[in-house]
């Protein structure tokens, strides 16, 4: 799979070079109700230790989130989200060299996280929930990940109706890019995410996964893929608890790389770094081989 290369600028640090190899984004949920890790990092020191461990294991980016975005989750007050994420970001930013991402759709949280040391905003709403978030990204010059979804957490599955999954995801992500650029975000700072598991039935998520390269080409933007431990994987392997979906995650991460993802977002960093390195080698040989 041919994968275009991009340089994504970051504030106060070297830009992300995307496409040379697949970058691994480690998920650091500072929540009591994460679907994937059961709230095991809902403690400042544990969260910091987990983030440091991810970096030692090879993570290229740490994605800190304070509000669960699992389907059906209730929104979190800004004050509580700030209380959860800002101390973690401050501590990690002072101790690691890799970029830190803030997983939020709230403008006030993003602004505080950037001040604390984050350099990437990861918005699961694609600027649908708080459009003013784009202004924070523009003013701070932070990179901006725009994920595809529809509706809010409690209603997204009722909106999982598609005539053409690939075309509609790319089209709606294109609209999100337009919203960001209109607010002053430079196009080079934008990464897109097809939103596996969000406002999608399992078959839609599999189509989206297989469409990563096409979405990247259509929008001329790098793609982040986040299949880790998500429930759509059970459509293939049967019902499993999130912690028991690591082998399925490994297969989806491999597919993400081979279909052209630039970044993969994962919970089990150490194992998935190995998965990505092998998949990268296969993708490199495949891309160099005569057809």
Strand segments, DSSP code E, in the chain are 6-10, 13-18, 23-29, 61-65, 100-103, 120-123, 143-147, 190-193, 224-225, 263-266
Out of 3, 200, 229, 230, which one is annotated catalytic? Answer: 230
Q: Say if CB 193 and CB 226 are below 8 A apart.
A: yes
Active site residue 265: yes
List, as one string, the DSSP characters of 50-73: HHHHHHHTT-SEEEEESS--STTP
Nearest to 198 by CA among 158, 148, 254, 247: 148
Q: Report the C-alpha gap between 14 and 99 in whole angstroms.
A: 9
In terms of DSSP bridges, do strands 263-266 and 23-29 run parallel, antiparallel, or are they unpaired? parallel
Out of 106, 166, 245, 265, which one is annotated catalytic? Answer: 265
| Rounded-to-5 percentages of helix, strand, coil across the chain | 45, 15, 40
Active site residue 230: yes
Q: Report the C-alpha gap between 209 and 161 in whole angstroms.
A: 17
Active site residues: 230, 265
């Amino acid at each position: 799979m041919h994968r275009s290369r991009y340089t994504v600028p970051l504030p106060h640090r070297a830009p992300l070079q995307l496409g040379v190899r697949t970058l691994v984004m480690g998920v650091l949920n500072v929540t009591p109700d994460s679907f994937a890790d059961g709230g095991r990092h809902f403690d400042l020191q544990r969260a910091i230790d987990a983030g440091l461990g991810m970096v030692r294991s090879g993570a290229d980016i740490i994605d800190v989130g304070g509000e669960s975005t699992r389907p059906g989750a209730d929104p979190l007050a800004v004050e509580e989200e700030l209380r959860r994420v800002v101390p973690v970001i401050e501590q990690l930013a002072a101790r690691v060299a890799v970029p830190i991402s803030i997983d939020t759709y709230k403008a006030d949280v993003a602004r505080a996280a950037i001040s604390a040391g984050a350099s990437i905003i990861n918005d699961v709403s694609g600027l649908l929930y708080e459009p003013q978030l784009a202004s924070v990204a523009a003013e701070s010059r932070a990179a901006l990940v725009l994920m595809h979804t529809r509706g809010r957490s409690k209603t997204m599955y009722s909106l999982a109706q598609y005539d053409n999954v690939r075309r509609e995801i790319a089209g709606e992500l294109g609209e999100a890019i337009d919203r960001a650029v209109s607010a002053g975000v430079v196009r080079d700072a934008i990464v897109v995410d097809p939103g596996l598991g969000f406002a999608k039935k399992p078959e839609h998520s599999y189509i989206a996964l297989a469409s990563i390269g096409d979405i990247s080409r259509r929008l001329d933007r790098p793609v982040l893929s986040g299949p880790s431990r998500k429930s759509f994987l059970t459509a293939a392997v049967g019902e499993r608890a999130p912690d028991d979906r690591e082998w399925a995650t490994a297969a989806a991460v491999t597919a993400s790389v081979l279909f052209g993802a630039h970044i993969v977002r994962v919970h089990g960093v150490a194992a998935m770094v190995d998965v990505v390195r092998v998949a990268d080698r296969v993708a490199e040989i495949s891309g160099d081989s005569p057809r």
